[in-house]
Amino acid sequence: MKCSQILCGFLLAASVCIPAFAKDGKIVVGASPEPHALILEQVVKPLKEKGIKLEIQEFNDYVVPNLSLNEGSLDANFFQHEPYLKAFNADKKTALISVAKIHVEPIGLYSYKIKKISELKNGSEIAIPNDPSNAARSLRLLEKEGLIKLKKGDLITIYDITENPKQLKFKELEGAQLPRVLNEVDAAVINTNFALLVDLNPLKDAIALEDKESPYANILVVKSGNENDPDIQELIKALQSDNIKRFINNQYKGAILPSF
């Protein structure tokens, strides 16, 4: 083998071993528009001062950001909670891991037609997210409010409802679509990030809301093997700083809570 071939082979191996974001000092992070992208915007300057350029790509669904991360077009993403990630990895055979808890967004039940739970009539239609973890989360909220009873388990579905005294009907849709159909149904369980996009305030507008001890903290996620990258570690430090804690508390007044 010629020396030039050996050198090319060495360079090729080196380029494969070194992640793209480690080479150029840039991190590309996928995020839901609000609050995730807005929170990320607060760490752009601190990271720049450390020589790291943060590029934020916004997504309005819960599937593409994980697929993009797994395929390598993103270095991290910030939009989901641990139960959703666990279900996604199992379903898609991906190897994505949580590296930091950032905040909690209590999921809530909203309605333009009623003001309180007791006003739900027999046969009322309730829209809920269609992904397994948020569907289960939504149903547990409705169970807590006394509307239904469910089997035990984590990823329960509408088929695990054991008691439904008001004969409620359920419409399962992608999370981003739920605010758009709120006029068409009697109520909808909506994630806070999508509620905020249509000016629904969880503390003022939700007729039922998860309590502040919810285990569904929103997390920063990377592909397994990249968790110890120095730039990722700097991103974690920036997102879990006192500045971000103050920003979340001041910006959302308790509707979103820091989880670090």
In sequence order, which ranges of the chain are alpha helices (DSSP H)? 3-17, 20-24, 38-41, 44-48, 64-71, 82-92, 132-144, 192-197, 202-205, 230-239, 242-252
Cα 67 to chain centroid distance, Å, stands at 14
Q: Can you tell me the distance from the alpha carbon of 149 to that of 194, in angstroms, rounded to the nearest whole number?
A: 26
Q: Which of 74-83, 120-129, 154-163, 206-215 is predicted least confidently?
A: 206-215
Q: Can you tell me the distance from the alpha carbon of 117 to that of 61, in angstroms, rounded to the nearest whole number?
A: 28
CB contact at 8 A, 26 and 52: yes
Report pLDDT for 211: 80
> Which helix (H) or strand (E) covers residue 162, if one does?
strand 161-163
Q: Global pTM?
A: 0.75
Residues 13-56 have pLDDT tens digits of 333 333 444 446 899 999 999 999 999 999 999 999 999 999 99
Longest pairwise C-alpha distance within the chain? 81
**Structural domains of the chain, ranges and CATH numbers in brackets:** 3-105+216-258 (3.40.190.10), 108-209 (3.40.190.10)
Q: Can you tell me the distance from the alpha carbon of 70 to that of 218, in angstroms, rounded to the nearest whole number?
A: 18
Report pLDDT for 2: 43
**Residue 162: HSE in the Cβ half-sphere, 13 Å Cα cutoff:** 8
Residue 34 in tokens? 């609000």
Residues 97-119 have pLDDT tens digits of 999 999 998 899 999 999 999 99
Confidence of residue 133 (pLDDT cuts 50, 70, 90): confident
Q: Residue 172: name the closest of 123, 125, 205 by CA.
A: 125
User: How many CB atoms sit inside 10 A of residue 102's CB?
Assistant: 23
Residues 135-188 have pLDDT tens digits of 999 999 999 999 999 999 888 999 999 999 999 999 999 999 999 999 999 999
Report pLDDT for 208: 97
Q: Can you tell me the distance from the alpha carbon of 13 to that of 18, in angstroms, rounded to the nearest whole number?
A: 9
